[in-house]
C-alpha cells in the first residue's frame, strides 16, 4: 500500500464562465466538484495506475464531509482521514471557456488544535506499518507546526518507509533537512529553497541540504533529477494545451509508483513526465488522460548519465 | 406565520480578497457562509423584526444539507424545505477588500423533476393554511415551469392568503397576470416588464397588467409605490456605502411585515426603505444593521397622496 498525506485537504470546485470580468455578475455554466489537496490527487493517479492507496490527513465540517463522500466513489483509494473540528477548505478554479485561462480562489484551511495534530501523528504511525512508501503533500493548515513534515519524515525513516515530500517555503526547507528520500519542487519552490534559478545547480544544492534525490518539475520543459544513481533530464515531445493544475501531483504519482516497482530512475522519470503531460489536457484538474499518457510514454526523451559505480 | 418560498435556494459564500485579478491565484482572507436565495433572506429579516416565519422551496445534495444545517441556527425561522434529488447551488461573492467592489459567480440550480414540482405544490398548499401572507422570491431552477409563480399565486388567492412576488423576466410577466397583491421589481425588472424606463409610469402600467400594488426599488433613490390606496415615493436621506446585495430582499420583508401588521402604506414604505438602506452597510450580504435601521426610520421622506375615497 502507498500512503499519501494531505494535511490541508480541499473540496476543489471548477467553474466554467464565458470570461471572468471583475465586479460583474457571472452565470456559471458548468460546475465540477472533486476531492482535492495534492495528496488526494496523487492518490487518485496512483489508483488509476493500479496501486493500492490509502489517504490520510485532516477532514472536517460540511466541506470535509463532502470530500469524504466524493472519495468513497474513488475506486482503489482507502479513506483514513482524521477528523478535525474546523471546516476543510474549498478551492475555486474559474475557467474562462473561451481561452482556458484560469483564476484561482483558495480558502484558508481549518485551524488544527494541538490535540488534533497529536491524534494525526498517532494515526500516521499506525498507517506506516502497512505502507511501502509515503508521500507528504501540499501546504500546512493553520495550527500545524512549521516543522510538521520534518517530524513526519523522521517517523517514516524510523519505520523504514521511503518518503517523498512535495511542499514549499519553510515546511520544505525544514523537511529537506530531515533527509527525505525524494523531494519534488517546481521551479519556483526550488529557487526559493536554494537561491539558484539554474535547475541543474539547484537540484544538486537541494541534495546537499539533505534530500536523497531531487526531481524538479519545470512545466513544459519536463523534469530534472539529481539522485545518488545519476543525473537525468526527461523532456516531453511538445507543449500540451490545457490546465496544468495537478501536473505536479501526477509527477509525484509517477515517481512513487516507480519507486515501489523498483524501476530504474530513467524509467521512473519517463513515467512521471508522461503522466504530468497527460494531466494538462484532462477536462478536470488533477486527473490524467489515459490515451494521451500511453501515446506520450514512448515519446519522452531522457538524457543524462548514471553515476560511475 | 409568514411563509416565504425560495425555489432556487443557495449556499451563499462571501470571499474577501485584496483585489480580484483575472487569471491569477488568490488567497481568500475571509470566508462567510450563509443560507441564501431571496426568500431565505426575506425570512431572516422578518424573523429579526419579530415575526414567525416558515421557509419552503427546494433543497438537495450536500449543498442543500449545509443550507438546512445553517438555517437550523437562524432563530425564528422554521424549515419546511422540500427535498430534491439534485444539488442546491452555491453563489460566490468575491469582495475586493480595498474597494468593496464585488464579483459574483452563480452556480445553476438543480434540475427539478415533474414529481418533485408536484410534491412541492402539495406541501405549499398545506403550508398556506397556517399563513398570514406569502412571498414568492427569486429565480426558477431548471425543470420548474415558467408559469410556476402564476400557479402559486392562484393557489394563494384561492386560500385567501395575500401574496407578494419578487422575480424577473417571463416568470414575473406571467406572475403579474395572475393578480398578486404586491410585486416588488427593481428598476431593470420593471423596465423589462413594462417597456418603460420612467418608474412612475411603469409602476402604473404594472398595476394595469394585474398586480394590485407595485413597489419598485430604485437603489439609493428609494421606493416608488402605486397602490389602490394611493401613490407614494419613499427616499432615504443619503447614499449609503457598502454591499447592496439583499437590499431588495429587505424591502420585501418590510412590505410583508407592514402588510400583516395592517400598517398604512406610507408606514410600510418607510419601514421597507429604512430596512433596505440598513442592509447596505451590514458586513454580510442579506443581513441588516439594526442601529442603522433605527437611525434611518425617522429620516425616510415619504411624498405622494392617497387616492380620494
Q: How sure is the predictor about B101, in pLDDT bands with cuts at 50, 70 and 90?
A: confident
DSSP-derived pairing of the beta strands B89-96 and B102-106: antiparallel
pTM of the shown model = 0.87
How many CB atoms are located within 10 Å of the residue A215 CB?
30
Q: Identify the pLDDT of residue B244.
A: 76
In Å, how far is A221's CA from the nearest CA of chain B? 22
Residue A305 pairs with which residues in a beta bridge? A231
CA dihedral (A111, A112, A113, A114) positive or negative: negative
> What are B5's three cell numbers?
418560498
**Do A104 and B25 count as a contact with CB atoms less than 8 A apart?**
yes
pLDDT reading at A285 higher than 80? no
Mean pLDDT of chain B: 94
Q: Identify the pLDDT of residue A149.
A: 98
DSSP-derived pairing of the beta strands B53-59 and B77-79: parallel
pLDDT, one tens digit per residue, over B223-252 is: 999 999 999 999 999 877 777 778 999 999
Q: Could you tell me which of B115, B106, B121 has the C-alpha nearest to residue B57?
A: B121
pLDDT reading at A284 higher than 80? no
Q: Identify the pLDDT of residue A286.
A: 64
Q: Identify the pLDDT of residue B188.
A: 94
Q: How sure is the predictor about A18, in pLDDT bands with cuts at 50, 70 and 90?
A: very high
Q: Could you tell me which of B79, B1, B94 has the C-alpha nearest to residue B40?
A: B79
φ and ψ of A49, to 5 deg? -85, 0
Share of chain A above pLDDT 90, in %: 89
Q: Identify the pLDDT of residue A180.
A: 98
Q: Identify the pLDDT of residue A15.
A: 95
CA dihedral (A161, A166, A171, A175) positive or negative: positive
Ordered structural domains, chain B, with CATH? 1-18+30-144 (3.40.1190.20)
Contact, A192 vs A167, CB < 8 A?
A: no
Mean pLDDT of chain A: 94
Q: Identify the pLDDT of residue A306.
A: 87
Q: How is B247-307 classified by DSSP, letter by letter?
A: HHHHHHHHHHHHHHTT--HHHHHHHHHHHHHHHTTSSSTT---HHHHHHHGGG-EEEEEEP
In whole angstroms, give the CA distance from residue B256 to residue B262.
Answer: 10
Share of chain B above pLDDT 70, in %: 98
**Do B101 and A23 count as a contact with CB atoms less than 8 A apart?**
yes
Residue A161: CB partners within 8 Å, gap ≥ 6? A3, A128, A131, A132, A133, A134
Instruction: Find the chain A residues whose C-beta atoms sit closer than 8 A to any C-beta of B.
Output: 13, 15, 17, 20-29, 31, 62, 65-66, 69, 90, 92, 94, 96, 101-108
Q: What residues in B contact A26, CB-CB < 8 Å?
A: 103-106
Helix (H, G, I), strand (E, B) or coil at B153: helix
Contact, B64 vs B9, CB < 8 A?
A: yes
Q: What residues in A contact B90, CB-CB < 8 Å?
A: 13
Chain A residue with minimal CA distance to B25? A104
Strands (E), B37-187: 53-59, 77-79, 82-83, 89-96, 102-106, 133-137, 163-166, 182-183
pLDDT reading at B259 higher than 90? yes
Instruction: Find the chain B residues whose C-beta atoms sit closer than 8 A to any C-beta of A.
Output: 13, 15, 17, 20-29, 31, 62, 65-66, 69, 90, 92, 94, 96, 101-108
Q: Identify the pLDDT of residue B241.
A: 74
**Do B23 and A101 count as a contact with CB atoms less than 8 A apart?**
yes
**Do A17 and B105 count as a contact with CB atoms less than 8 A apart?**
yes
pLDDT reading at A309 higher than 60? no
Q: How sure is the predictor about B95, in pLDDT bands with cuts at 50, 70 and 90?
A: very high
Q: Identify the pLDDT of residue A216.
A: 97
Chain B residue with minimal CA distance to A88? B31
Instruction: Look up cell 420612467; give the residue.
Output: B198
pLDDT, one tens digit per residue, over B44-68 is: 999 999 999 999 999 999 999 999 9
Helices B169-177 and B148-158: crossing angle in degrees, nearest 10, is: 30
φ and ψ of A15, to 5 deg? -110, 130
Q: Identify the pLDDT of residue B18.
A: 95
Q: Identify the pLDDT of residue A282.
A: 82
Contact, A233 vs A225, CB < 8 A?
A: yes
The residue with greater pLDDT, B73 or A168, is: A168
Q: How sure is the predictor about B266, in pLDDT bands with cuts at 50, 70 and 90?
A: very high
pLDDT reading at A289 higher than 70? yes
Contact, A63 vs A91, CB < 8 A?
A: no
Q: Identify the pLDDT of residue B292.
A: 93
Q: Identify the pLDDT of residue B233.
A: 97
Q: How sure is the predictor about A264, in pLDDT bands with cuts at 50, 70 and 90?
A: very high
Q: Which residues of B are catalytic?
A: 249
Residue A139: CB partners within 8 Å, gap ≥ 6? A7, A8, A109, A167, A168, A171
The residue with greater pLDDT, B159 or B245, is: B159
Helix (H, G, I), strand (E, B) or coil at A41: helix
> Distance between alpha carbon B39 and the CA centroid of its chain, in Å?
5
Q: How sure is the predictor about B128, in pLDDT bands with cuts at 50, 70 and 90?
A: very high
In whole angstroms, give the CA distance from residue A8 to residue A110.
Answer: 8
Chain A residue with minimal CA distance to B68? A62
Q: How sure is the predictor about A296, in pLDDT bands with cuts at 50, 70 and 90?
A: very high
pLDDT, one tens digit per residue, over B269-279 is: 999 999 999 99
Amino acid at each position: 500500500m502507498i500512503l499519501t498525506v494531505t494535511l490541508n485537504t480541499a473540496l476543489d470546485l471548477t467553474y466554467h464562465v464565458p470570461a471572468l470580468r471583475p465586479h460583474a455578475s457571472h452565470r456559471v455554466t458548468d460546475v465540477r466538484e472533486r476531492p482535492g489537496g495534492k495528496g488526494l490527487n496523487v492518490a487518485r493517479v496512483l489508483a488509476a495506475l493500479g496501486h493500492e492507496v490509502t489517504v490520510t490527513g485532516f477532514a472536517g465540517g460540511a466541506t470535509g464531509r463532502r470530500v469524504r463522500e466524493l472519495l468513497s466513489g474513488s475506486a482503489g483509494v482507502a479513506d483514513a482521514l482524521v477528523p478535525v473540528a474546523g471546516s476543510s477548505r474549498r478551492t475555486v478554479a474559474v475557467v474562462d471557456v473561451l481561452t482556458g485561462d484560469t483564476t484561482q480562489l483558495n480558502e484558508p484551511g481549518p485551524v488544527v488544535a494541538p490535540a488534533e495534530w497529536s491524534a494525526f501523528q498517532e494515526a500516521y504511525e499506525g498507517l506506516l506499518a502497512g505502507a511501502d512508501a509515503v508521500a507528504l503533500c501540499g501546504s500546512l493548515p493553520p495550527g500545524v507546526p512549521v516543522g510538521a513534515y520534518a517530524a513526519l519524515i523522521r517517523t517514516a525513516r524510523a519505520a523504514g518507509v521511503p518518503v517523498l515530500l512535495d511542499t514549499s517555503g519553510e515546511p520544505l526547507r525544514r523537511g529537506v533537512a530531515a533527509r527525505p528520500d525524494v523531494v519534488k519542487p517546481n521551479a519556483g519552490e526550488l529557487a526559493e529553497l536554494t537561491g539558484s534559478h539554474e535547475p541543474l545547480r539547484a537540484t544538486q544544492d537541494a541534495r546537499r541540504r539533505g534530500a536523497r534525490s531531487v526531481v524538479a518539475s519545470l512545466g513544459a520543459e519536463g523534469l530534472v533529477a539529481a539522485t545518488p544513481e545519476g543525473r537525468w533530464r526527461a523532456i516531453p515531445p511538445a507543449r500540451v494545451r490545457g490546465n496544468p493544475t495537478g501536473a505536479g501531483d501526477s509527477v509525484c504519482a509517477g515517481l512513487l509508483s516507480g519507486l515501489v516497482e523498483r524501476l530504474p530512475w530513467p524509467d521512473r522519470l519517463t513515467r512521471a513526465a508522461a503522466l504530468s503531460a497527460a494531466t494538462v489536457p484532462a477536462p478536470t484538474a488533477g486527473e490524467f488522460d489515459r490515451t494521451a499518457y500511453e501515446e506520450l510514454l514512448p515519446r519522452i526523451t531522457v538524457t543524462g548519465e548514471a553515476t560511475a559505480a
